[in-house]
Amino acid sequence: MNLILKVWRQKNASSEGRLVTYEAKGVSPDMSFLEMLDVVNEGLILKGEDPIAFDHDCREGICGMCSLMIKGCAHGPERGMASCELHMRSFKDGDTLTIEPFRAKLFPVVKDLVVDRSAFDRIMAAGGYVSVNTGSAVEANTLLVPKEKSELAMDAAACIGCGACVAACPNASAMLFVSAKISQYALLPQGDPERRKRVLSMRRAMDEEGFGNCSNEAECEAVCPKEIKLSNIARLNWEFLRASLLSKE
């Protein structure tokens, strides 16, 4: 396959960026999208040019680092996969691909396709954890959890914090991300002792960061590589309302 790439190049956060055109020749359909970028970068390095900077780590759809807008869609045209899981067989020979970083005010560009998503880290630091001492591991069946709730919690815990939901949302809302983190604890007994404190703290941190509000566009669910459901946002709203009322008693 031979492709034309229009890649966003930006030296640093303070400089202006622009789309630069590159040719990707001899691309195997079995390559992942990031492997294709590796090949392009090898060619640039041989020419003495600055390689394209992009985030990656596990390349197995787990770490959430590969934050690319491909042909105007977060993580590319295929549903339920991160950029690193996207294979070149999803495109046709001769295609022109526009590759940009995630576009959101709270995800400022660091360089080229790399963005700063530390706002998510600060939200997690506000309450996305269990701090109650639980002692040593207990027998697995000591805490009985209904199968339906355990499955919903696991589905929510699948969120990899990549930020595609924010990039796709017209309001740059982080509600899907925060709701997934709230749900995975609210549905299980281990998260119950800090349930009210957690949702109030994380919701406050999200608002202080400046993320927009959810207006039920559902773009977040459509691009989420782990297909986190919009119903988690309803659970977040319920948990927040419940905690707000009980905290005033």
Domain ranges for the chain, please list them. 3-111, 117-246
| Domain 117-246: assigned CATH number | 1.10.1060.10
Q: Supply the pTM of this predicted model.
A: 0.93
Q: From CA 92, how far away is CA 104, in angstroms rounded?
A: 29
Q: From CA 196, how far away is CA 239, in angstroms rounded?
A: 7
User: Which residue(s) pair with 97 in the sheet?
Assistant: 5
Residue 231 — φ and ψ, nearest 5°?
A: -60, -20
The pLDDT of residue 247: 80
Q: From CA 210, how far away is CA 3, in angstroms rounded?
A: 38
Q: From CA 15, how far away is CA 108, in angstroms rounded?
A: 12
3 state SS for 178-224: HHHHHHHHHCCHHHCCCHHHHHHHHHHHHHHHCCECCCCCCHHHHHC
- Comparing CA positions, the residue from 32, 61, 65 lying closest to residue 226 is 61
> Does position 200 have pLDDT exceeding 70, yes or no?
yes
CATH class as words, domain 3-111: alpha beta
223-239, pLDDT tens digit by residue?
Answer: 999 999 999 999 999 99
Please spell the DSSP secondary structure of 22-69, one letter per residue: EEE-S--TTSBHHHHHHHHHHHHHHTTPPPPP---SSSSSSS----EE
Q: From CA 115, how far away is CA 233, in angstroms rounded?
A: 25
Residues whose CB is less than 8 angstroms from the CB of residue 187 and which lie 6 or more positions away in sequence, other chains included: 149, 150, 152, 153, 156
Q: From CA 220, how far away is CA 205, in angstroms rounded?
A: 20
User: Which residue(s) pair with 21 in the sheet?
Assistant: 6
The pLDDT of residue 134: 62
Report the range of poorest mean pLDDT among 57-61, 76-80, 136-140: 136-140
84-117, pLDDT tens digit by residue?
Answer: 999 999 999 999 999 999 999 999 999 999 999 9
Give the chain's radius of gyration (CA, Å).
20
Q: pLDDT band at residue 21, thresholds of 50, 70 and 90?
A: very high
